[in-house]
Structure 1
């Protein structure tokens, strides 16, 4: 039996008569076939969904579009509720939004072709108005569907983020993991063992969206990763075979990651705090790639003791720097170079292009100004820490 709207077929309006000629079930089947052959998101759906929910929604669309055409005016808002629900289902299934909207565009094209094919000579003056109404319908339903889809995806992503952060907080706090924590860990392929590795990652010059994509990519290879604005932090299992805790090729081009050594559960809070400090330091240094946290040990000591760092600048850097408009930059450069070559007198002189005796004179002057003897291990360590702040 061909499904028509009998009330429309007997109506006096030319638009109603035109809409009443359409075989609605036939049009729905045309749309369904088009979706399955031309849109990847629909081709992946099982037949039970295609012949069930999808066909039902297509028929609802056909009915609403032709009723709109027949009445010449938009229907009440609640007629769109079924499409909102369907869009949320598609979002939950992971269908891309572009595939969903493409279906509505393809459906509108199919409907218009059938309308034109069903028209008669006396409908010629009616077709422009029919085209306008079909376009109005597509605008309205597309906006409704897109809004519902994005609302559902935002909720889905937010809920997923909440679960990931809950797992990270539980691991870092050393609290017992509940069933929800274990389920989240299983979903990303992370084994919440006793020993885990903390890391922080950043992509210089990129915003939250790029970092969100990077975090998602890491989760896809078993890493617990969450975004913190313009960086990603998280935990991963040790990977001794790869030489680094992060999977090979797991970083986007130009990215930087600071990675600690594996730590026990009760040490993870401090480890994560250290890599957060470490990523800030490494970014200021212009580093890229994977940087072991151990390579930033001196910088971390200074970062964790700002008053000590300020005192070192005052005791070591200031006396060797500008004073009363006169520069002592040669002293600072001399000390820094001498320390960088392992306190080798000849190598330092060659690098500075000065005579070794000139080097000796400058080092004596630096010792007078700072009261630090570079031949003394403690004074040398103090000087190294102070110079670290110039890098």
Structure 2
């Protein structure tokens, strides 16, 4: 922990804090409190150096933090209490120092429970000082002061907790965005791979997982910002649970990438991918696809990410059912989908049926079902004779004999290249 310049924190709320209603205390109570004013510095030093030492984590604070920052905060709290005894109505900025310190402790990583216990311990020490100062005839005044002290403590705890939680949320968002920037830079090659790897805590070889949700809009409406953020949070929670704390990710409503360190020969990471898909199906539907590609070094990650994206695209275009896809699963389809000088001519083979999506889908499913007309009919919910009629129409319009090895290979290549062009691949 350090004593660097204090972080920005939410501005105090004087309109609420200084208008809090406190009772006017008796003359005896005010006189009793006034007798403690000379002990403020002594009590502050005692709390900062002795009374707080029993709190978890406090002993690890640097001496200058205890002697300067903590002691100053305690003195402020003591003097604030004693002033309000004489002047019950608060002033704007009464809680500003408490808020600033709460934000600083949040940035330094002090647990909230330790911070709140330090405030409660200070209240107890102040109560002891008032009790020791009171005479037998001032018991009523002592009760007044304790009631007043506890009321004030409630307001201070509220301000401290509110600021601490807000600062933690800000810091968490900043850390998350920084990690996203590192993953983005690693995937697109805009950052030095070794630097990104080191900051993300990754080691090679890694498994780069491309995730495609294929989530249809509900009731024909686009996913709203609120629903989108909620979806990404749920996906992220599933990734954290199934891929482990060492996994890093870059996700959006369409899916994204997950990168996790892989141990050679260990199949647990692939099982984690299967578990992740099973979890995502519960709130993303059946059309969840993953592709897993190994990157041996940090420099291989961008290529692995592109390959994973292409594997999912090819599997989908080839009519394979949703699931976890590996390169070996789509080896032929992947090869046929690579573009070269012949690609446009192959895609043009399907141009005669471009305006007939029913024929295109029938061709895709028929190839995926290994040209079994009955299986194709079941998948499409059609009569086998209807499938035969569509296949005959496809052959008539395109000139492709999909019953032959050459014809089916050309048709598959045309479908893959056509979908690649549609996806911008």
TM class by smaller structure: 0.5 to 0.7
Provide the C-alpha distance between the structure 2 equivalents of 1:269 and 1:15, rounded to a whole number of angstroms.
72
- Could you tell me which of 49, 54, 59 is aligned with 1:47? 59
Provide the C-alpha distance between the structure 2 equivalents of 1:111 and 1:150, rounded to a whole number of angstroms.
29
Map Cα deviations across residues 298-341 of structure 1 (whole Å, 9 max, x no partner).
699889999999978754464474xxxxxxxxx78875664344
Question: In structure 2, do the counterparts of structure 1 residues 147 and 279 end up closer, same or farther at CA, with 3 Å as the change threshold?
Answer: farther
1:343 equivalent in structure 2: 371
8 A Cα contact 2:247 2:260, kept in partner? yes
SS in 2 for 1:158: helix
8 A Cα contact 1:211 1:232, kept in partner? no
Question: Which runs of 5 or more residues in structure 1 are unaligned?
Answer: 1-10, 37-41, 322-330
1:368 equivalent in structure 2: 396
- Could you tell me which of 237, 241, 246 is aligned with 1:222? 246
Provide the C-alpha distance between the structure 2 equivalents of 1:94 and 1:277, rounded to a whole number of angstroms.
46
SS in 2 for 1:225: strand
1:5-44 map, 5 Å = 13-20=27-34, 25=43, 42-43=55-56
Please, which moves more after superposition, 130-139 or 276-285?
A: 276-285
> What is the alpha-carbon root mean square deviation over aligned residues?
5.8
2:170 equivalent in structure 1: 154
2:5 equivalent in structure 1: none
Provide the C-alpha distance between the structure 1 equivalents of 2:388 and 2:72, rounded to a whole number of angstroms.
87
* In the alignment, structure 1 residue 135 sits paired with structure 2 residue 160: no
Count of matched residue positions in the alignment of Structure 1 and Structure 2: 352
Map Cα deviations across residues 37-96 of structure 1 (whole Å, 9 max, x no partner).
xxxxx53x153549973974773465145224323233563774365235423442252x
- Could you tell me which of 44, 58, 63 is aligned with 2:78? 63
How far residue 164 of structure 1 moved from its aligned partner, in angstroms, is 6.3
Provide the C-alpha distance between the structure 2 equivalents of 1:376 and 1:279, rounded to a whole number of angstroms.
27
SS in 1 for 2:370: coil
1:368-387 map, 5 Å = 368-384=396-412, 386=415
8 A Cα contact 1:349 1:359, kept in partner? yes
Structure with higher RCO (Cα < 8 A, 6+ apart): 2
Question: In structure 2, do the counterparts of structure 1 residues 364 and 299 end up closer, same or farther at CA, with 3 Å as the change threshold?
Answer: same
Give TM-score scaled by structure 2 length: 0.55
Provide the C-alpha distance between the structure 2 equivalents of 1:70 and 1:257, rounded to a whole number of angstroms.
66
SS in 2 for 1:258: strand
Give TM-score scaled by structure 1 length: 0.59
Provide the C-alpha distance between the structure 2 equivalents of 1:141 and 1:80, rounded to a whole number of angstroms.
13
1:233 equivalent in structure 2: 257
Question: In structure 2, do the counterparts of structure 1 residues 132 and 301 end up closer, same or farther at CA, with 3 Å as the change threshold?
Answer: farther
